[in-house]
């Protein structure tokens, strides 16, 4: 089975540009999570969806960040305008419903804002 697929794997762009990260969850999974990983702050949950509906976006750092899940097989995380402090690895994960269901992570997008 295909795992969680993220694109692009690497993104380098200049400050002020719009950045869009993409995620395809595992088919049949009910939950989708977006995380950000940095050396300083570790793994932070930004937002998660249940059946395509955003449930908790309290981890989204600023209004510059937005996420959508238009259907069960696709989600985007957008940063507009981007800033150097947004540089991090962004992970998408998905899981089935149930307390013992593991989250399956993609390989991440390494984002560098110059």
Partner 1 sequence: QQQVKQSPQSLIVQKGGISIINCAYENTAFDYFPWYQQFPGKGPALLIAIRPDVSEKKEGRFTISFNKSAKQFSLHIMDSQPGDSATYFCAALPYGGATNKLIFGTGTLLAVQP
- Where do contacts with partner 1 occur on this chain (CB under 8 A)? 4, 31, 33, 42-43, 45, 48, 50, 55-56, 91, 93, 95, 97-108
Toward partner 1, which CB reaches closer, 7 or 17? 7
CB of 106 to partner 1, least distance (A): 5
Residue 53 — left, alpha, or beta (φ > 0 → left; ψ -120 to 50 → alpha)? beta
Toward partner 1, which CB reaches closer, 45 or 72? 45
Q: What angle do CA 12, 45, 26 make, to 5 degrees?
A: 80
The residue with tokens 């305008």 is 81
């Amino acid at each position: 089975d295909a795992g969680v697929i993220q694109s692009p794997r690497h993104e380098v762009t200049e400050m002020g540009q719009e950045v869009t990260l993409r995620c395809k969850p595992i088919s049949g999974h009910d939950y989708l999570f977006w995380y950000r990983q940095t050396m300083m702050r570790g793994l932070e949950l930004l937002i998660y969806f249940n059946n395509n509906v955003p449930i908790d976006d309290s981890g989204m750092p600023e209004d510059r960040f937005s996420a959508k899940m238009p259907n069960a097989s696709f989600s985007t995380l957008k940063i507009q305008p981007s800033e150097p402090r947004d540089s991090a690895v962004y992970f998408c994960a998905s899981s089935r419903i149930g307390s013992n269901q593991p989250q399956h992570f993609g390989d991440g997008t390494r984002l560098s804002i110059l």
